[in-house]
Each structure stands twice: as structure tokens, then as C-alpha cells.
Amino acid sequence: MSELDEALDKIGCPCVIKGAECGVFPVRDRELFAYFSNYCQNTFGFPILVQEWMEGEEYSVFALCDVDSTIRLSLTA
């Protein structure tokens, strides 16, 4: 958890916390940061990504690759 606090100190608020498997949580203050970082840890485990807030339109990207890492299917929404 100390690494998460260091990430918040470096990036600042607002930011986004992302869980290991899914979940994107916008954070505007330290209280929400503590709540969502605990939630991600207890629900998804580690790693947890802390990312700076980026203004703009949100996109979801999906790619399916074969064993040689060749993309066989990709979708963007």
C-alpha cells in the first residue's frame, strides 16, 4: 500500500485507479483513493494501476491474439 500512496503523491488528484482484471475508478481526493485502492486490492488483488486523469473521450479496446502474438481480432468502442 505504501507504493500506492507514493504513486498518489507523485501523480496527484484527480487520478484513476485501475484493478488488475477490471474496474476503472475516478478519484478526486485522498479519501476516495483510500477507498478504491482497498476495494481493488480486496476484489482483484495486485497489480493496481494509478494513472493521471486524462480529459477526453473514453475508449475500450479488445484484441485476441494467437500463440505467436499475431492479432486475429480487434475491436474498439
DSSP string across 14-76: SEEEE-SSS-EEEE-SHHHHHHHHHHHHHHH-S--EEEE---S----EEEEE-TT--EEEEEE
Confidence at residue 60, expressed as pLDDT on a 0 to 100 scale: 77
Phi, psi (rounded to 5 degrees) for 18: -125, 130
Is the overall model pTM greater than 0.75, yes or no?
Answer: no
Per-residue pLDDT of 11-67, as tens digits, reads 999 999 998 778 889 999 999 999 999 999 999 888 999 999 988 887 777 788 889
d(CA 48, CA 57): 22
